[in-house]
Structure 1
Amino acid sequence: MSTTTADPRSSLRRVRSAAVLLGPAFVAAIAYVDPGNVAANISAGARFGYLLVWVIVVANAMAALVQFLSAKLGLVTGRTLPQVVRDRATRPTRLAYWAQAELVAMATDLAEVVGGAIALHLLFRLPLLVGGLVTGVVSMVLLTVQNRRGQKPFERVIIGLLAIIAVGFVASVVISPPSVPDTIGGLLPRFSGAESVLLAAAMIGATVMPHAIYLHSALTRDRHGRSEDRATRIRLLRITRWDVGTAMLIAGAVNLSMLLMAAHTLGGREDVDSIESAHAAVRDSLGPWAALLLAVGLLASGLASTSVGAYAGAMIMEGLLRRRIPLLARRLVTLVPALIILAAHIDPTRALIVSQVVLSFGIPFALIPLVRFTSDRALMGEHVNRRVTTALAWLIAAVISTLNVLLIYLTVTGS
């Protein structure tokens, strides 16, 4: 009797072939480690210790499912989420939908440019307004790479920046490990007053980001196209699961590291109310190298995320309105609100947190159509969501919407 053994070289070739197809989720994952995350997570850890660890875990689990559904929509239909919305909406609805999406895009850009400006101030003592301008210029250079050389080189640059972000924020946790029992205790869902709800909404808004939901459908479509071959399509969907899972695992680890670092190093300190003061506290507690890595991670976060955000905004406009503004021109327009905030000397950390709350309110507008479309058998065919997937996706939408309503109530009543 003869037996056959797998050829190791053939297995290696298959792994390399699959690895080459990874990347779109890593670009989308930049949205999950942007300066808004830094502000929200560090503020949550410094003010409430380990209380909101559960928000990080839940938000990243939700994000993984949402990003896969967006990627699946692009792969199966060959259209982006904004394009599918456009095809199924009346003109007034499209315009209103685009208006809220643009508001969300402006909030996104504000967070990213302000974050880059803060990082440049920490590293080189540049004035915040000058740092905002430098961040905008560098983001234009990154967008030029995408415009002239295509998506793959852009992906490589963004993945490199993601690696820098990961090292910058995970380093503090490695240098001074947090309490394991307190971390486990933070997995119990609970709040402590209106401010904790505000920060939880900001953390979710910074993690499950609307523009990333829209963008991922375009990233997978542009990278892989729409295959008519069933076997190829199934293979791409399987690889996309790995792509999303790996990218979100990295993003989740970075977010958790931010909060744990703040809870362990900064918790209980009365003088930590901004990213700048958190940076100073880290320098005092863990040394100058830890503070340097934190600032470098923040800078990489701002540069990468503002480029991805501008890319997403252009895609949303083109998908909904069939109008295209040159990407660099759009970059200039969306840079203005952030520069106004910096020029007006508004507290940049507070501006970052409020921008993330605005993003949280925009999530249902992206998430509800995504769940509806991916649950539509006429649109998705055999790749339609399973009932359990649909139920989980609707639960995510309900949780986020309920949190937003609770946030409004607590803010209005001052509870």
Structure 2
Amino acid sequence: MPKDDRVIETPPRTTPPRSLWLLGPALVAGVAYLDPGNVASNMTAGAQYGYLLVWVVLAGNVMAWLIQYLSAKLGVVTGQSLPEALGARLRRPWARRAYWLQAELVAMATDLAEIIGGAVALHLLFDIPLLLGGLLTGAVSMVLLAVQSRRGARPFEFVIIGLMVIITVGFVAGVFIAPPDPAEVVGGIVPRFEGTGSVLLAASILGATIMPHAIYAHSALSRDRFGANPRREQTDAAVESARTDASRIRRLLTATRWDVTIAMVIAGSVNLGILLLAAANLAGVEGTDSLEGAHAALAAGLGPVVATFFAVGLLASGLASTSVGAYAGAEIMHGLLNVRIPLLARRVITLIPALAILGLGVDPTLALVLSQVVLSFGIPFALVPLVALTAQRRTLGAWANRAWTTAAGVVASVLLIALNGALLWLVLTGS
């Protein structure tokens, strides 16, 4: 019989494209933008000022995209996290220690928000006392950190992304059930304030949206997955090596842009949804200046299902973000002081301030909002060095920022610092 020379076509591969497996670091870092501090700040802003601060959420998310991309690019190209890069350049020990101290205070404020948020969620769902809820939140976060320590980055990313899905459903469901007024939403895009209280909340929203520890963490996450040079010192040979691997880095940066875009779209939509939910359904309602009051008002106005979704989203938010916060804190200490404490040991230490506040009976929502203001003041210390480093050709070689990227980073830095200065002036003068 004649031989059949026809080419038999093989069926197309059903596995995901390889580029999909490059996604992940930004989604993990993006959980920091969905922590309980965000919930408290956006919920309070919507309940007290309606749609007034919609523009703050949108502007913050646009700036966050640029900032997180620059952070990831630093890790991809140099193989260093931002704390490592700063630690190598701050030659004087006192300078490294001073920088570490402010970064550590920011990380502690982050932990405070996340543990308190998880405790409040457990109280809303199961009537568990706040102090016990804080302990349980800390214990679960230890399990998540154990996954990262023993199984590596990829399984940890899958767990965090799964929690992000729960967060999104929990907080956005109510917006579809009770949608906001479109005309009011458009009106909220116009930048304006109404007194000191709105400036305080704007700073709180930005502190929750552009979080310093997310900047530190994202550069480390990208370094661990893709970094070109894992060595601590950024030598000329390392920069030259990155330049010769141009196709690989270009592919990684393209995937990083997609990763950051997806993460910021999710985070921005959820944060905006929280504010709109409060503005449309809680404005003028008594007691909605607290998470417990907001939960009760949602249950009364929209039913127990929406309220339960909200509480579940809050719990997932606390569990996911506290794990990322502990990872960032460990990286800050290692990069600046060259001291590495096991993640689980650090988790135990950083639980203490949050548990103390819960034990003393401090209003949880007030503690959450104020913690976000602390984060807001930590932004310049992370953002200014990030923009400066990524603009240097001796650091990133051919991958250094273009002029317009650096200009956008400078504008974002100036705006954030100016807002913080205005906040401090208004608070001190009582205006």
TM class, shorter-chain normalised? over 0.9
For residues 102 and 271 of structure 1, what CA distance do their matches in structure 2 show? 33
Matches within 5 A, 1:325-364: 325-364=341-380
Shift of 1:273: 1.6
Q: Is the 8 A contact 2:112 2:354 kept in 1?
A: yes
Partner of 2:420: 404
Partner of 1:22: 23
Matches within 5 A, 1:72-221: 72-89=73-90, 90-221=92-223
Partner of 1:47: 48
Q: Is the 8 A contact 2:78 2:227 kept in 1?
A: no
For residues 11 and 113 of structure 2, what CA distance do their matches in structure 1 show? 47
Shift of 1:110: 0.1
Matched, 1:268 2:284: yes
Matched, 1:303 2:304: no
Shift of 1:359: 0.2
Runs of at least 5 residues in structure 2 that lack an aligned partner in the other structure: 1-9, 229-241
For residues 115 and 292 of structure 1, what CA distance do their matches in structure 2 show? 15
Shift of 1:87: 1.0
Partner of 1:372: 388
Partner of 2:261: 245
**Structure 2: which amino acid aligns with 1:27?**
V
For residues 149 and 285 of structure 2, what CA distance do their matches in structure 1 show? 46
| Equivalent position SS for 1:325 | coil
Shift of 1:9: 4.2
**Structure 2: which amino acid aligns with 1:203?**
I
Partner of 1:289: 305
**Structure 2: which amino acid aligns with 1:117?**
A
For residues 287 and 368 of structure 2, what CA distance do their matches in structure 1 show? 18
Matched, 1:254 2:270: yes
Shift of 1:225: 2.7
For residues 107 and 187 of structure 1, what CA distance do their matches in structure 2 show? 29
Aligned residues: 407
Deviations 1:220-242 (A, max 9, x none): 11012316521011000000000
**Structure 2: which amino acid aligns with 1:41?**
N
For residues 391 and 193 of structure 1, what CA distance do their matches in structure 2 show? 30
For residues 291 and 271 of structure 1, what CA distance do their matches in structure 2 show? 15
**Structure 2: which amino acid aligns with 1:408?**
L
Using the size of structure 1 for normalisation, the TM-score is 0.97
For residues 407 and 270 of structure 1, what CA distance do their matches in structure 2 show? 26
For residues 408 and 70 of structure 1, what CA distance do their matches in structure 2 show? 28
**Structure 2: which amino acid aligns with 1:163?**
V
Runs of at least 5 residues in structure 1 that lack an aligned partner in the other structure: 1-6
Shift of 1:270: 2.9
For residues 245 and 287 of structure 2, what CA distance do their matches in structure 1 show? 60
Shift of 1:8: 10
Using the size of structure 2 for normalisation, the TM-score is 0.93
Q: Is the 8 A contact 2:37 2:372 kept in 1?
A: yes
Shift of 1:271: 2.5
For residues 414 and 9 of structure 1, what CA distance do their matches in structure 2 show? 67
Q: Is the 8 A contact 2:121 2:311 kept in 1?
A: yes
| Equivalent position SS for 2:285 | coil
Q: Report runs of 4+ in structure 1 exceeding 3 Å deviation.
A: 7-10
* Pick aligned residue for 1:384 from 374, 385, 400: 400
| Equivalent position SS for 1:191 | coil
Partner of 2:33: 32
For residues 289 and 182 of structure 2, what CA distance do their matches in structure 1 show? 25
| Equivalent position SS for 2:17 | helix
For residues 314 and 253 of structure 1, what CA distance do their matches in structure 2 show? 29
CA RMSD of aligned residues (A): 1.2
**Structure 1: which amino acid aligns with 2:42?**
N
